Structure formats: structure tokens, C-alpha cells
Amino acid sequence: SELKSNVMLSEIIYEQGNIFEEPAVGKIGGQLWKGKADIVRSDLVVDLKTTSRIDDFHRSARKYNYDGQAWIYEQLFERPGVFIAIEKGSCRMGMYDCSEQFLDSGREKVMRALEVYNTFFGESPTEDIDQFFINKTL
């Protein structure tokens, strides 16, 4: 595979002791969350992603809510995370660590998601999901 031929990424991914496809469950904001990490190392959680344009990966990461995933995984696995992206077709690769700003954005998204969840499904919901609809003018 392309990953094995890249010395730096190969060492990160295939280091002895790494655990692959590792599930975790934990409470965040009073609710249970689950995740399945591609690779758990002693020092990192590694998530593998494919992308159509690796040059755009750093911009599209928020769009695809990887910031929320990174923050959740940091909570569940109790270690920082990195993304390794592989461009479809060319197999160009990149490794992306997560800034505090990126993680803060993820935490905010998760907290907003919890608010919406609790509005409809929490212990004391204030809205009836069966009555929810969107009404907009196009």
C-alpha cells in the first residue's frame, strides 16, 4: 500500500503496540457517545481519511465536521488526534494535527448538537419531534 511506502507515515501507523479499529464509549454533556478510532497509539489517535483534493483538506475538515470528531475522540480516547489524508487517484498524503482553535470549534459544534438533542429527546424535552418541520421561502 502507499502508506507502507511512506517511511514517516508507516512508522506512525504500523508501530508495534498500535490498536486498530478500537471502539470507545463515554459520557459527554450527560449523554453517551461512541466512536471507533482507526488507530490508537500510546500517544495519539489516528484517523484515516480519503479526499478528492489533498490541497483543500485543511479547509474542508471543518465543513465535514472533523473538528467535532477530533474533539469527541480526544474526550473518548484521552489523547490528541491526527488525521492522515490520502488523495484519491494520486495517492498524495498529508498528516494534520489539531489546533486548539480547531478543537474549540469542534467542542462548540458538539455542545450545540447536545442542545438540539435535549430539546427533542432529553429527559425534559421542550419540543415534539413529530411536530418539527422547516418552513422557508425559496
Confidence of residue 7 (pLDDT cuts 50, 70, 90): confident
- Which three cell numbers mark 108? 462548540
From residue 17, alpha-carbon distances to 13, 38, 117 in Å are 10, 14, 37
pLDDT tens digits, 66-86: 999 999 999 999 999 999 999
Separation of alpha carbons 12 and 69, rounded Å: 20
pLDDT tens digits, 9-31: 889 999 999 999 999 999 999 99
The confidence score (pLDDT) of residue 13 equals 92
Please state which of the ranges 16-20, 38-42, 129-133 shows the lowest mean pLDDT: 129-133
56 pLDDT above the threshold of 90: yes
Separation of alpha carbons 138 and 136, rounded Å: 6
2 pLDDT above the threshold of 80: no
Confidence of residue 1 (pLDDT cuts 50, 70, 90): low
The confidence score (pLDDT) of residue 45 equals 98
Nearest to 40 by CA among 23, 28, 61, 27: 23
List all residues 6 or more positions away from 28 whose beta carbon is below 8 Å from its beta carbon.
Answer: 72, 75, 76, 110, 114
Separation of alpha carbons 88 and 92, rounded Å: 8
